[in-house]
A and B are shown apart, each in its own frame.
Chain A
Amino acid sequence: MKRPAATESSARETEDTGLPFFCSWKSVYLFVMGSFVLWVALLIALTKIFS
């Protein structure tokens, strides 16, 4: 079922990231979590290698 135009516009504002490589906010959040996991992995590696 087609939603009213106002809701569509509001949904577009909610979902539009304005970024070239990320079409949705879900992908932005995944990228942020990915970079966080990468940093934690690097810190764990630093701890293991030099301690």
Chain B
Amino acid sequence: MSALDYIVLIGSMLGIAIYGIWRTRGRRDLNAYLRGDGHTPWFAIGLSVMATQASAITFLSTPGQGYLGGLGFVQIYFGLPIALIVIAAVFLPIYRRLNVFTAYEFLGKRFDGKTRLLGAALFLVQRGLGAGLTIYAPAIVLTTVFGWPLNLTIISSGLLVIIYTVAGGSDAVTVTQKYQIGIIFAGMVTAFCLLVARLPTGLTFTDTFALAGGFQKLKAVNFSTDVHERYTFWSGLIGGTFLMLSYFGTDQSQVQRYISGASLCEGRLGLMFNAVCKIPMQFCILLLGVLIFVFYQFETPPLFFNSTSSQYLAEHNAGQKLRAYEADFNSAHAQTRQQLEDWLNARHRGDQTAATAAFAAASTSHQRGEKIREEAAKTLLTANPGTTANDADYVFITFILHHLPHGVIGLLVAAFFAAALSSKAAELNALGSSTTIDFYRHLIKHDATDANCVVASKCFTAFWGLVAIGFALYAHLVENLIQAVNILGSIFYGVMLGLFVVAFFVRRVGGTAVFWAALAAQTLVFVLYFNLTISYLWYPLIGCATCVLLSLVLQVVLGGNGETSKARAI
């Protein structure tokens, strides 16, 4: 990175944080600190909901998913519009009517104190762990590429977000997210345009799509009913609906964003904005990865996008082997490139037979190259069993660093940090709010004044920020980063959603039945996760269904109708 890149990066990050602190200075009232000033318009809510979900991992890792696996990952979002409609129509009006600070406060009003604490505890455990990953993931990728000290990057970005979130509360999060998402969009659009401009001259729009499609990168929808396949239309539509319903409907980091709207209408419009825009946005990010794949068919890609993999092999008596792999890989790639140029010429001449033959040959050469890569990855794993050969997270940043001009590099790194800070701030804000409202005020200090709660909320926000930094400092890379975050959510979200489904729709069940049902369902999900190989997208459905069914059975066993005056009041 050049001096210009650093000026863009540091200037934008510090500028937004300082602006957030200045705009929200002097917030002393608990309501304003936790839910904002009550004037947030739908557009700000929509961007805030989007920025909270889209972490740095989304922008770093998703293009890599597109590069390696094509567009299929988009199916995970098929359940999102349905889930957001259910939340806008059912969840949000109740949250607003009950005037709650946290989603778990609603569980207390509907059931009892222990169920509220269980919901809040499930949230704190999974979001607390997730917050560490949110901060660790971009740091590990960026420090690997730029050679920055990992711990310093984690600590400095973590402290920055703690300072402005503690200072300004919910409003600071919303205000800063507006500008952060502006930087993210500016960076991604610039990268997309520059990438398209760098594709070989003579490669038309249809050529590009034909090439990507020929390598199975445009297989966006898969109707397979095999539950072991990770991304299918059905797992996305059914499992994805439950995953999104639980994330947007019961995760305080999201609930806090849309209950802060000026009115019910503004909150609903903010959610609908996401319901319409999210699939096209994810499609564009994945398409960026597919275009990078096309680009690298005409430019030599590295054997490993994660340069530390090559360095490790070189430094551990496998240098000769590595050079042999690289030579073979480059030869296979040169062959692929030549055959693709032949394909392009034949295609433009209108010689279909020659084009088909050239593409088949290019496909064979490409497969040979991929086999060499797999062999090299195996060698790496044998040499260092603790490492990961997953390259997806490094594809986009490698492209940026080697093929984009200075200034733009700074803008894109700023976009990754903006995404990291925006989702992190919302998470810390939610963790602080839930700990204050659901534990401190509910369990420890019933007579706490608003001023006490604001101070407590600031302390808890800072505490969770430090926990996240601590976790990030000791975290190890697991699989692909974006998948790791989704898998973690899938394990906990189903049961949490089950609690809320019973609360909203099954009036006959009381607090004791649903409490034990939730504990049993969470245990079952853990057991299944460690023993089955089905797609993780099914776990929210399994957890939710088990919790609902068991609570009905337990209610019958416990006897009587669990409907209370609380349930009737809601």
Contacts and interface: CB of A to CB of B under 8 A. Distances in A.
A and B held together in a complex: yes
A35 to B, nearest CB: 5
A29 to B, nearest CB: 5
B276 A35 contact: yes
Contacts of B213: 49-51
A23 interface: no
Contact of A46 (B71, B78, B268, B269): B71
B475 interface: no
Given A13-B265, A14-B264, A43-B74, A50 B210 contact: yes
A1 interface: no
Given A16-B265, A18-B265, A43 B221 contact: yes
17 contacts: A13-B263, A13-B265, A14-B264, A17-B265, A25-B88, A29-B272, A32-B85, A33-B85, A35-B81, A36-B81, A47-B219, A47-B220, A47-B221, A50-B210, A50-B214, A50-B218, A51-B213
Interface of A: 13-14, 16-19, 25, 28-29, 32-33, 35-36, 39-40, 43-44, 46-47, 49-51
B405 interface: no
B264 A13 contact: yes
A46 to B, nearest CB: 5
Nearest to B277: A35
Given A36-B81, A39-B279, A43-B283, A51 B272 contact: no
A49 B206 CA distance: 11
Given A32-B84, A35-B276, A46-B220, 9 more contacts: A14-B93, A28-B272, A29-B88, A32-B81, A43-B283, A50-B209, A50-B212, A50-B214, A51-B219
Contacts of B218: 46-47, 50-51
A8 B355 CA distance: 68
Residue with the highest number of chain A CB atoms closer than 10 Å, among B220, B264, B269, B283: B220
Interface string B367-401: 00000000000000000000000000000000000
A29 B85 contact: yes
A39 B93 CA distance: 28
Contact of A33 (B81, B88, B212, B214): B81
Contacts of B272: 28-29, 32
B268 A44 contact: no
Nearest to B265: A18
A36 B216 contact: no
List the 9 closest pairs (A to B, CB-CB), nearest first: A50-B213, A43-B220, A36-B81, A50-B218, A32-B275, A29-B85, A44-B221, A47-B221, A39-B279
B319 interface: no
Contacts of B265: 13, 16-18
Contacts of B283: 39, 43
Nearest to B42: A18
B505 to A, nearest CB: 18
A35 B279 CA distance: 10
B147 to A, nearest CB: 39
B264 to A, nearest CB: 6
B280 interface: yes
Nearest to B263: A13
A47 B107 CA distance: 43
Contacts of B216: 51
